[in-house]
Structure 1
Amino acid sequence: MQLQTKRLILRDLVPDDWTAIHTYTSMPEVTTYTAWGPNTEADTQAYIQQVVDWQQEQPRQHYELGIQLQSNRILIGGIGIHLQSTNAEIGYVLHPQYQGSGYVTEAAQALLSYAFDKLNVHRIYATCRPANTASEKVMTKLGMTREGVLRQHWYYKGEFHDSYLYSILSTEYAGR
């Protein structure tokens, strides 16, 4: 699968992408708010294998795509959407060198459009840790509404964590 935006190419990942992905998934500053990482090489290679396996599912339920710059074809991050009946969860990660340039918002807008228009998703949601203000800003820019706080719902990295829950409905997205 491949989607194109003004500045980006969103595409299915391939096994050779693991080295580019590992450059940022191994960084502690990238994985501060994630349930994974910092990755070892084996972790990143296992992730790529899982993604390649998901690409073969029929019907496909998991879309983990690379975010690639059109200008030089450098893989700068990833974005995924995971279907659950008429709902879907979206998530994203970006190499720190490329953060703050609107790339994640641009990629997420393209993936939201694809999910609503082509996959007939009714509701897309995302979560972030309360301290992850950059991710929360992306959700707001996408037109998502904060539904609430999931209090200490997730135990990882040795402690319980809260999450903000955001969502957008297909009708809200179409009315933007």
Structure 2
Amino acid sequence: MRAPETFETDRLILRPVVREDAADIFAYAGAKAPTRFMPFKRHESIDDSLAFAIRCADAWQSGAAFPWAMTRNDTGQFIGVIELRLSPPKADFGYILNEAFWGQGYTSEAASAVVKWAIQQPDIHRIWATCHPDNAASAAVLRKAGLSFEADLPKWENRPQLNEAAGRSLLYARMKALPNQGVKSSYLRTDECKDIASSVKHALWCMDKVHYHPSEWKWFTLAIHSALQGALVSHLTTTATPIGAINNKCAAEWLTHFNGEGPPPKKTQLLNFPELLKKARKPGTCGGGPTMVSIQISDIELGWLSRFHENVRNQFTHFEPMGWSLEISGLQPLGALVARIIEAVIDAGWAFRHEDYDWVADLRNDLRRLATVRD
């Protein structure tokens, strides 16, 4: 399988790197800022750049990789390199841009064209790329090219400029949509714990989309609210389900039923969101385990979460006839607070007691991402 030799976008022409590009390559590959996060050693002379250009020509000839020079279509100016490697059923790519052209969308434009072509190939079902956790600009390029965050990879990449022999990387990927194979079941099988975990994952998924779909902030808020409410209910509920997370009147009706003295309540009345928060703060309210366990939520945090419930979540859910202007600067700290509280619920040892170690570890990893993610 071979990639096209050229791509044309609105502002760029991508064409194979040639020996004559050595001086332009050295302009970025010998510079400090563009090479900071790169896995290759910064070029010390134009001879290093010439060697790279020769490697690019050899790669094109053998099909081992397909490195394109990014050139402006109005001036022909060389501004960087993007390289695709095909290994069916997957492909990966990387890029580097001369610092003089940063912040103008050129890399996103080139990456989008390469990704679009690759994922359309019958034998390619997945395309991926990585970036350093601190390289927010590169992560934005990957999101704009249609990739989504998948994993935080420890000990993944050698980065000479950072003295990292095996540093962390963030993995982004895009998969080909599966053909519709027909609905095999009319049921969604889940439970409280799986719903909490899927809500956290959906919040992270929304965070990867808000850069080009700001409306995903709405679904981010609903996802973190759902995750926290589910965690609180699971933390408070005793083995006599649903005692612990319901109001006193409903609890009395359930106890009467458990004692064989009456029917179950016609409707189970859960505590509302602020009441769940208040109860979880009290020692001895955990559904099981250590009797004095409580979840640390300050008065300020309680007020913040209660206002979030009343003024944001309820408006989004009940659709009163009004327009919204949502201040998004507080949503990421709110996500971090939700992540901390759910981790405290995990530490209490009751809500997720039936899940295995790997499942809980995966949830903790997602919560830590939610606590540190930045727009």
- CA distance in 2 between partners of 1:119 and 1:90 (Å): 18
How far residue 16 of structure 1 moved from its aligned partner, in angstroms, is: 0.4
Contact 2:88/2:123 (CA < 8 Å) preserved in 1?
no
Aligned residue for 2:168? Answer: 162
Q: Which residue in the other structure is 2:27 paired with?
A: 23
Q: How many angstroms does 1:118 deviate by?
A: 4.5
1:5 and 1:119 map into 2 onto residues whose CA distance is: 23
C-alpha contact (below 8 Å) 2:37/2:159 kept by paired residues: no
Structure 1 residue aligned with 2:97, among 81, 94, 97?
94
Aligned 1:125-136 pairs, distance under 5 A: 125-136=128-139
C-alpha deviation, 1:90, in angstroms: 1.0
Query: 2:72 is aligned with what amino acid?
Result: L
1:137 aligned counterpart, secondary structure: helix
- TM-score w.r.t. structure 1 length? 0.91
Q: Deviations along 1:82-128, whole A, 9 cap, x unmatched?
A: 11221111111111111111111110111112222347421110000
Of the two structures, which has the highest relative contact order with CA contacts closer than 8 Å and spacing of 6 or more?
1
How much does 1:170 deviate?
A: 2.3
1:46 aligns with 2:51: yes
RMSD: 1.5
Which 10-residue stretch deviates more, 30-39 or 69-78?
30-39
- Would you say 1:12 and 2:13 are equivalent positions? no
Asked if 1:84 corresponds to 2:87, the answer is yes
Of 27, 30, 40, the residue aligned with 1:36 is 40
Indicate if the aligned counterparts of 1:26 and 1:37 stay in contact, CA closer than 8 A.
no
Gaps of 5+ in 2: 179-375
Q: Deviations over 1:5-50 (max 9, x none)?
A: 0100000111101111111110011110001132122221111111
Give the direction of change, closer, same or farther, for the CA distance of 1:150–1:61 in structure 2 (3 Å limit): same
Q: Secondary structure of the residue that 1:151 maps to in structure 2?
A: strand
State the one-letter code of the partner of 2:54.
Answer: Q
Larger radius of gyration: 2
Identical-residue share of aligned pairs (%): 29
TM-score by length of 2: 0.44
CA distance in 2, matches of 1:137, 1:102: 10
Q: Structure 1: which 5+ residue stretches go unaligned?
A: none
Runs of 4+ with >4 A deviation: none
Does the C-alpha gap of structure 1 residues 70 and 129 become closer, same or farther in structure 2, counting only changes over 3 Å? same
Partner Cα separation in structure 2 for residue 85 and residue 141 of structure 1: 23
Any idea what SS the aligned residue of 2:70 has?
strand
Give 1:151's aligned residue: 154
- Whole-angstrom distance in 2 between the partners of 1:14 and 1:154: 27
Q: Does the CA-based 8 Å contact 1:28-1:37 persist in structure 2?
A: no
1:55 to 43, 54, 60: 60
**Matched residues in 1 for 2:57 and 2:121: separation?**
21
- Partners of 1:44 and 1:51 in 2: CA distance: 11
